[in-house]
Amino acid sequence: MKMKKNIKDKMGNRRILITGGAGFIGSHVVRLFLNKYPDYKIYNLDALTYAGNLENLKDVENAPNYNFLKADINNAQEIENLFEKYRFDSVIHLAAESHVDRSITDPLAFMKTNVIGTMNLLNAAKKIWDGNWEDKLFYHISTDEVYGTLGKTGLFTEETSYDPNSPYSASKASSDHFVRAYGETYGLPYIISNCSNNYGPNQFPEKLIPLFINNIVEKKALPVYGDGKYTRDWLYVIDHAIAIDLAFHKGEIKETYNIGGFNEWQNIDLIQLLCEIMDKKLGRSQGESAKLITFVKDRPGHDKRYAIDATKINKSLGWKPSVTFEEGLELTVDWYLDNEEWLKNVTSGAYKDYYKTQYSD
Ligand code: NAD
Ligand code: TYD
């Protein structure tokens, strides 16, 4: 029989470890939990890699229930010591290497952080919780990319077989399997959610939408991979954070939830829409930004289509996206245009070297 889970009702004060909280999605999850649950102690553990930025949490960093722990999940001893010291009762695990293109140039880094880093957290939880599973939860945040690629029709459901194609998705699939295995073998209470492509404020400009916003502002080429007819299913990041909150509190142990907004876009159509919005916002003539579109060499192993069937989380937890794609994209563009300084900071230094390597020839 399934264990019913309703964490909030069972325990008033939680001590939640959120990993990767200085990153894109993690920062929105940390903010939501800090604001919504002042009784919870939130521990944001992050190594502050190129993708982590404490600026993302400037507005909440002085919250009395907030603690930042600079640590690397690849360091098993350090992670165990932190579990010992702070006695977390739950984990929301987002820390990861997250960019497919980087996984193609450095797959081992993805294996280390995404697989071994996750195992270090699992081992620490297993050791410190020591079979006292009551009110404990290891919530692993994963991606729809573990399912591989779809043809023209069909959707990924929670029953779809894993079939990862990139080193990134292979590392995430592997970490999902280890989480599940620790549940089956040792009884560790876990939940996994697999979400589609996120977009919104604070996303590092290596991913499609913020990269293209930045390039449009700077009137630089928009490098579209292959024929641009690849399809992704886009979700506003705050709607993902809301889904994580719901699954954390109301989800069932040992369950997987697919999260997505039934919002498929071919890259080229999305880019055209983004160009139109940007022309409007920047006071440029319609069609000006679209002239920057440049078809470039395709990504190796490029998955053709992702699309999530989010029926389960909708029916069982009552979740659905709160904004349409057009609304979310406009909010996102406004955020980047209002936060030039943030964009300037994250695109200085190492970003320039990355850009040169990724987009030369
Ligand atoms: P991100 O790259 O923006 O942030 C990752 C964070 O993890 C950064 O703050 C980084 O400093 C931290 N980190 C990296 N390596 C670490 C290490 N060894 N120790 C401690 N911290 C480390 O990623 P994101 O887009 O916010 O994704 C967060 C999670 O959500 C990932 O697990 C990703 O696989 C998953 N996910 C992302 C998307 C998406 O569209 N971005 C979609 C579905 C699932
Ligand atoms: P991305 O944001 O990297 O997310 P993911 O690969 O995890 O889905 O890419 C989204 C889509 O945009 C994907 O089909 C690859 C494509 N893309 C480009 O065409 N050009 C680019 O410069 C980037 C970064 C992505």
pLDDT tens readout for residues 232-281: 999 999 999 999 999 999 999 999 999 999 999 999 999 999 999 999 99
Catalytic residue among 46, 144, 233, 239: 144
Indicate if the pLDDT at residue 353 is higher than 60: yes
Residue 159 annotated in active site: no
Is residue 223 lining ligand 2, measured as CB closer than 6 Å?
yes
Indicate if the pLDDT at residue 207 is higher than 90: yes
Is residue 79 lining ligand 1, measured as CB closer than 6 Å?
no
With a pLDDT cut of 70, the percent of the chain lying above it is: 96
Measure the CA angle with vertex 346, ends 235 and 282; round to 5°.
65
Q: Reduce the secondary structure of 22-37 to three states and give it as a string.
A: CCHHHHHHHHHHHHHC
Measuring CA to CA, which residue among 31, 23, 121, 32 is closest to residue 73? 121
CA of 223 to the centre of ligand 1 (A): 23
Tell me the per-residue pLDDT of 120-147, one tens digit each, with 9 for 90 and over: 999 999 999 999 999 999 999 999 999 9
Question: Residue 182 and residue 173: Cα distance in Å, rounded?
Answer: 14
Which ligand number lies closest to the CA of residue 297? 2
Give the mean pLDDT of 103-121.
98
Measuring CA to CA, which residue among 87, 258, 257, 253 is closest to residue 183? 253
Is residue 173 lining ligand 2, measured as CB closer than 6 Å?
no
CA 292 vs CA 198, 226, 288, 297, 304: distances in Å: 24, 16, 8, 16, 23
Is residue 74 lining ligand 1, measured as CB closer than 6 Å?
yes
Tell me if the pTM is above 0.95.
yes
Give the mean pLDDT of 106-118.
98
Answer for the pair 42, 16: CB distance below 8 angstroms, yes or no.
yes
Is residue 147 lining ligand 2, measured as CB closer than 6 Å?
no
Q: Give the mutation target among 17, 18, 19, 24 for probing the ligand 1 site: most ligand atoms within 8 A of CB.
A: 24
Residue 144 annotated in active site: yes
Query: How many residues in total does the chain contain?
Result: 361
Is residue 193 lining ligand 1, measured as CB closer than 6 Å?
no
pLDDT at 7: 54
CA of 75 to the centre of ligand 2 (A): 31
Is residue 208 lining ligand 2, measured as CB closer than 6 Å?
yes
Which ligand number lies closest to the CA of residue 299? 2
What ligand 2 atom has the least distance to the C-alpha of 359? Answer: 22
* One-letter amino acid of 291: K
Tokens of 108: 């081992």
pLDDT at 360: 83
Indicate if the pLDDT at residue 10 is higher than 90: no
Residue 276 annotated in active site: no
User: Whose CA is closest to atom 23 on ligand 2?
Assistant: 208
Catalytic residue among 147, 168, 182, 306: 168
Tell me the per-residue pLDDT of 145-160, one tens digit each, with 9 for 90 and over: 999 999 999 999 999 9
Question: Residue 50 and residue 341: Cα distance in Å, rounded?
Answer: 16
Indicate if the pLDDT at residue 8 is higher than 50: no
Give the mean pLDDT of 170-196.
98
Catalytic residue among 145, 206, 245, 309: 145
Question: Residue 353 and residue 361: Cα distance in Å, rounded?
Answer: 14
Is residue 172 lining ligand 2, measured as CB closer than 6 Å?
no
Is residue 52 lining ligand 1, measured as CB closer than 6 Å?
yes
- Strands 264-266, 231-236: pairing is antiparallel
Indicate if the pLDDT at residue 35 is higher than 90: yes
Indicate if the pLDDT at residue 1 is higher than 60: no
Which ligand number lies closest to the CA of residue 96? 1
CA of 207 to the centre of ligand 2 (A): 6
Q: What DSSP line would sit under 61-79, residue for residue?
A: TT-TTEEEEE--TT-HHHH
Answer for the pair 253, 137: CB distance below 8 angstroms, yes or no.
yes
CA of 166 to the centre of ligand 2 (A): 13
Locate the domains of the chain by residue range: 6-202+235-262+305-322
Indicate if the pLDDT at residue 33 is higher than 80: yes
CA of 271 to the centre of ligand 1 (A): 24
CA of 101 to the centre of ligand 2 (A): 8
pLDDT at 357: 92
Tokens of 94: 């987002």
Question: Residue 197 and residue 305: Cα distance in Å, rounded?
Answer: 11
Question: Residue 25 and residue 207: Cα distance in Å, rounded?
Answer: 13
Question: Residue 45 and residue 118: Cα distance in Å, rounded?
Answer: 13
Is residue 100 lining ligand 2, measured as CB closer than 6 Å?
yes
CA 81 vs CA 67, 76, 232: distances in Å: 16, 9, 40
CATH number for 6-202+235-262+305-322: choose from 3.40.50.720, 3.40.50.920, 3.40.630.30, 3.30.390.30. Answer: 3.40.50.720
